[in-house]
Amino acid sequence: MRTAIWRGEGHEGHSGTVRAVAVMPAPAGTFHVLTGGADGTVRRWDPDTGRQLARLEGHTRSVTSLSVLRDASGAHRIVSGSGDGTARVWDAETGRQLAVLEGHTGWVNDVAVIVGPDGEGCVVTAGDDGTVRVWDANTSRESAVLVGHTGWVSAVAVLPGPKGDRRIVSGGGDNTILIWNADTGRQLRALTGHTRSVRALTVLADPDGTYRLVSCGGDGGVRVWDPGTSRQLARFGGPANWARAIAALPGPGGKHHVITGGDDWSVRVWDPDTGQELAALAGHTNWVAAVAALPGADGLPGIVSGGFDRSILVWAPSTGNATAADSSRLSR
């Protein structure tokens, strides 16, 4: 893999930690990169040129998380969470702020989106106040408050259920992962095993139509779970890596790998079946706060990462099974 880099030292970059990254479909089958920073802004970039395309302002504290929602008309919306206690919904085309979701009494640490059978969307938020909240993306109405964690909630993800229903997964400072029925708000399962707070969650879609859940925590480990049985299937990584960010990376034949970003300044790629480390990518000069998969025009997915060094790094695959990175950079 090779890298391109944009640092926050110029007038265009973030002036603080890059806390969130996401990827959004763009015209002609391309994709744009979204970033959220400690400077309170959301920015949209062309990953091929490094050019900043838009800057969204409205949050009054750090942007902690990002997601993308496609509405019933096919238009895309950007969802952001922030330390100002709100989540906000933006028109991805114009950058106009469409909604402010207010209800949490502390930081909003993570956001996720749910698209219903009718194409209408909901926003899911995780807060320092120990709650998970569900919102109607069109009306801004809070439709559910999920209470079950005994500490802050740091991460949320959406998991398809076995009967076509929708489930919300949350993890937090009480070291647990909870699975909820998104339609009823009922808590279905509790997954225990982490010995410190759960930092991040992602969902792996397997070729046979089933799903696995992957988490990373303050105990340094990455864990793979069967969400249907609560059984821990694998554990890999450890204190040497201290993963704080996680994402799924599509692989050949519908098999997914796992991306982590860590306090050791590295981005790593793992085989979730064997726990084998497939790549260790060096380029950040401080903790890595966020990672995401970036679809490539040639069908080979790349990686985008953001960190405490105010950098956004785009890792473009040179092969389908890259195991190293060189030091080539495009600086701004």
**Edge-to-edge strands of the sheet including 2-7?**
2-7, 311-316, 302-307, 288-294
Residues 243-252: tens digit of each pLDDT: 999 999 998 7
* pLDDT over 90 (residue 76): yes
CA-to-CA distance for 161 and 184, rounded, in angstroms?
13
* pLDDT over 90 (residue 297): no
Which range (109-118, 204-213, 227-236, 293-302) has the least confidence?
293-302
The confidence band for 11, taking pLDDT boundaries of 50, 70 and 90, is very low
CA-to-CA distance for 168 and 156, rounded, in angstroms?
7
Give pLDDT, residue 240: 65
Percent of the chain with pLDDT over 90: 74
Backbone dihedral angles phi then psi of residue 129, each to the nearest 5 degrees: -80, 5
Judge whether 167 and 180 are in contact, CB under 8 Å.
Answer: yes
Adjacent-strand bridge partners of 249: 257
Residues 142-165: tens digit of each pLDDT: 999 999 999 999 999 999 887 778
CA-to-CA distance for 53 and 181, rounded, in angstroms?
38
Q: Are strands 121-127 and 108-115 parallel, antiparallel or unpaired?
A: antiparallel
* pLDDT over 80 (residue 120): no
The confidence band for 129, taking pLDDT boundaries of 50, 70 and 90, is very high
Structural domain spans, the chain: 34-281
The confidence band for 116, taking pLDDT boundaries of 50, 70 and 90, is confident
Sign for the CA dihedral angle at 128, 188, 176, 154 comes to: negative
Distances (CA, A) of 294 to 53, 203, 321: 17, 16, 15
Residues 260-282, mean pLDDT to the nearest whole number? 94
Q: Has domain 34-281 been given CATH number 3.40.50.11780?
A: no
